[in-house]
Amino acid sequence: MMKNYNKSLLALALVSTLSLTACGDGSDGQDGAPGTPGTPGTPGTPGTPAGSFATTAQSITDLAFTLSPADIKVTSSEGFSVKFTVTGKNANKDVPFTGLDKVALYSLTANENTSGTGAPIQWQNNAMANAAGTSLTCTLDGLNGTKNACTLTEDTATPGTYTATWAHDGAAPIINPNDNPNAVHRIFLRAYNVTDSAGVALSDKILSVPVDFIPATDELASSGKDTVSSAACEKCHGEADGHIANISAHHNYQGVKNCVTCHNPDQIPSDADLAAGLIFDFAPMIHRIHSGAENAANFDTSNNTAKEWSEIGFPSDLKECTSCHTTDQPSYNTIYAQACVGCHMTVNFATGENHSEFALAQADDTQCSSCHGTGNLSPAVVHSVGKRAEYASLFKVDFTSATTVPSATLGMKTLTLTANVTLNGAPIADGTSLKAYNATTNPTAMFVANGLLIGNVATDGTVYSWRDVKPAAISLKLENGTLAGGVLTIVKDIPDAQAVGTLYVGSEANFCAKAGKVVSCNTTNLEFGPTSPIGNEAAVKFYSPDGSAVTKARMTDPTRITVAETKCNACHGTLDYAKGSRHGAYTFDQCMHCHNDTTGASGHGATGYKGDDGKLVVNPEVTFNNKDLFTVAHRFHSGNFGVVEGIFRDAKGGLFGYPAVETDCAACHKDNAKLFATDGGLTSGKRSIKVGAYYISPVAESCRTCHAHSDAAAVAHFRSNGAVVEADAMTDPNLPVESCATCHAEGKTYGVDKVHAE
């Protein structure tokens, strides 16, 4: 025990000695002096600030391409490369879009056509010229599956900047060896595989804005070929995310500058298409589509496409070239057979059949301009381009007074109306027969084209047309008056009840024209025939023969009208054309004479859909018994008018013939219009509509005019929310306001601005 203890002390002493020796001189036990500092390392590259780029997109409109002509090489003399940048959105700011892995490049050339047949300038798709499809695909590895593709490279130093190059043998398929670098070229791109933040691929095509330029000089240019703009198409079809809306083919490729990529003379129709009279070059095809209903008898509808085209009705005057063409590019004077035959389908230019009384055969188009290039046989003249609106002032009826005096007949007053009338720019001659200018032969006297628009206006702006006076309508025509010194005077006894308060007075006269003059409608070769006469210029005026305050109709108050006449005219040209075969009405205050909330009847009460036999299948659960203007307009444009023509629905509820997006209220209504007033009623102030002898609520009626599936269950929903329907047999027009606005007013969860935007 003692020996082990001594050994432990000896070991401890030895360890202590060794420890003291390791401390150096052992003077203070502190650390030694610091060593020489090492060389600083190279600073790292700063990270990209958060939010400085985008890799996803919530909408196709988030992405924007920029291409400069100097960065586009697509001709054989330059080789092939295309450099471009792409921006996306991050925190609603435009930032570089990175990670693009696939694009398609489209290249077109506007070639001068010297063949003697076809348009003088024709687009050619350069990929199609090489039998290489319609575009050139570019990917990161230069392959599209197992097929050679161009190589897409993103600049690592400048995110969002990409270059497309060709690394394979031979020229890129998009380069046309016969291309002309001095001609106008068009380039645009399509991006693929872009997803939203949830990883879901965007459903619409992501397209760049086409760039038109001359490769030889790198100058931006105009082709001279583009005489129709996308904006012209959008007047009827509407716009969505930068493209023409509501055309089923190819979805958002819809843009005139995109369409010609495929729809050009290289797109050769099949034998079956030719047999059906179809051609897919853009100008002839568009002419034929829009003249479909007018040329229905000339289509071979064994072809499904031809059958569909034959049902398309053009909403404006088919001869009015400026409905689509720009006025500064009068392409309606560019004459070639394929464009003309789009409307003049029965003309056989090879044989001359139906080509004038001389049956002129044409081997090609070189002689067309000799007759039709200028002068009286030019399309601009024979189509009366731009003349409908100009000619309206050829026949003016300007009412100047409305007075009443007691009549010799008890309970009656004698009404005297005066109006200044001009014909062809001069006061109308004494003894002129206005009946000679009646352009229609409508069987109902009060509807004839020379009829007066006259009725009463209540203090709330509601109109009561004299055509609805009971027990007998009061009918007045221009031809009932006398003419002296250019003044028309009409005298008529009217019941005392109609001589109280405000009267509205106007005219729905229409007329025929030839060579820029008003002529009898019995004249041959009219500029505007009996099927489409011209509405005369006749503003509706308001008078108070009994001396009370004048009240103007609701339809003249812009704050109470949510629809714009300019929007109607954008598609129809003029409203008088829309109803031109019967009426000369072109403003809402003319339309109100028949289409008001007090008429209480409808000429088209039924609704339904087109059956397999092409006839209307009536829905007995849904009927309409009024012709208020919103009811008629909604029903007709939504295919619920009870006819199978123009606009209609099929058995599945599909809408045919309406050119715009069905739920786009702004196609007709004013931009940002509020349909509901603060009290939950309609902005117009309308609180009831007459149907037969009863009154119904206007909001529910407005909804069901489009939603014509409104069966018994829907009617129950209306009634549970305060609506009065026809079955309630309400005889008091002062109806309570419906509670529809609680859920459906603008800004609400189910507001019309939300549910109609989907």
Using one digit for the tens of pLDDT, what is the confidence trace for 548-565? 999 999 999 999 999 999
Alpha carbon distance 529, 486 (integer Å): 27
Average pLDDT of the chain, as a whole number: 88
Alpha carbon distance 587, 174 (integer Å): 53
Quick check: 3 pLDDT over 90?
no
90 pLDDT tier (thresholds 50, 70, 90)? very high
Q: Quote the pLDDT of residue 450.
A: 66
Burial bucket for residue 666 (CB in 10 Å: 0-12, 13-18, 19+): middle
Q: Quote the pLDDT of residue 12.
A: 37
DSSP H or E segment with residue 274: helix 271-275
For residues 159-174, give the mean pLDDT: 97
Identify which of 26-30, 211-215, 524-528, 701-705 has the greatest average pLDDT: 211-215
Residue 434 vs residues 125, 215, 541, 743: alpha-carbon distances, Å = 58, 64, 21, 54
Identify which of 165-169, 248-252, 519-523 has the greatest average pLDDT: 165-169
150 pLDDT tier (thresholds 50, 70, 90)? very high
Q: Which of 138-142, 306-310, 459-463 has the lowest mean pLDDT?
A: 306-310
Quick check: 580 pLDDT over 80?
no
End-to-end CA distance of the chain: 99
Which residue has tokens 């069966």? Answer: 711
Contact assessment for residue 580 and residue 316, using Cβ atoms and an 8 Å cutoff:
no
For helices 629-637 and 698-706, give the axis angle rounded to 10 degrees: 20
Alpha carbon distance 682, 687 (integer Å): 7
b/e 237-257 (16+ beta carbons within 10 angstroms → b): bbbbeebbbbbeeeebbbbbb
Which residue has tokens 């959105």? Answer: 89
Quick check: 267 pLDDT over 90?
no
Q: Quote the pLDDT of residue 277.
A: 77
Alpha carbon distance 303, 272 (integer Å): 7
Q: Which of 42-46, 161-165, 244-248, 724-728 has the lowest mean pLDDT?
A: 42-46
Q: Quote the pLDDT of residue 330.
A: 59
Residue 523: strand pairing partners: none
b/e 586-616 (16+ beta carbons within 10 angstroms → b): bbbbbbbbbbbbbbbebeeebbbbbeeeeeb
Q: How do strand 616-623 and strand 487-495 relate by DSSP bridges?
A: unpaired
Q: Which of 147-156, 326-335, 643-652 has the lowest mean pLDDT?
A: 326-335
Alpha carbon distance 155, 164 (integer Å): 11
C-alpha 134: how far from chain center? 28
Q: For residue 345, which amino acid is it?
A: M
The Cβ-side half-sphere exposure at 94, using a 13 Å CA radius, reads: 8
| The 463-465 sheet, strands edge to edge | 463-465, 452-457, 502-507, 541-543
Q: Quote the pLDDT of residue 709.
A: 67
Q: Which of 154-168, 343-357, 514-528, 741-755 has the lowest mean pLDDT?
A: 514-528
Q: Quote the pLDDT of residue 50.
A: 67
Within 8 A by CB and 6+ apart from 302, the residues are 276
Report the share of the chain in percent with pLDDT over 90.
Answer: 63
Burial bucket for residue 102 (CB in 10 Å: 0-12, 13-18, 19+): middle
3 state SS of 21: helix
C-alpha 33: how far from chain center? 85
Residue 288 vs residues 309, 315, 339, 349: alpha-carbon distances, Å = 8, 14, 9, 16
Quick check: 660 pLDDT over 70?
yes
Q: Quote the pLDDT of residue 145.
A: 94
Using one digit for the tens of pLDDT, what is the confidence trace for 626-639? 999 999 999 999 99
Burial bucket for residue 443 (CB in 10 Å: 0-12, 13-18, 19+): exposed
Contact assessment for residue 306 and residue 278, using Cβ atoms and an 8 Å cutoff:
yes
Using one digit for the tens of pLDDT, what is the confidence trace for 405-451? 999 999 999 999 999 999 999 999 998 888 777 665 543 322 334 67
- Residue with the bigger pLDDT between 161 and 362: it is 161
For residues 614-636, give the mean pLDDT: 92
Contact assessment for residue 109 and residue 261, using Cβ atoms and an 8 Å cutoff:
no
44 pLDDT tier (thresholds 50, 70, 90)? low
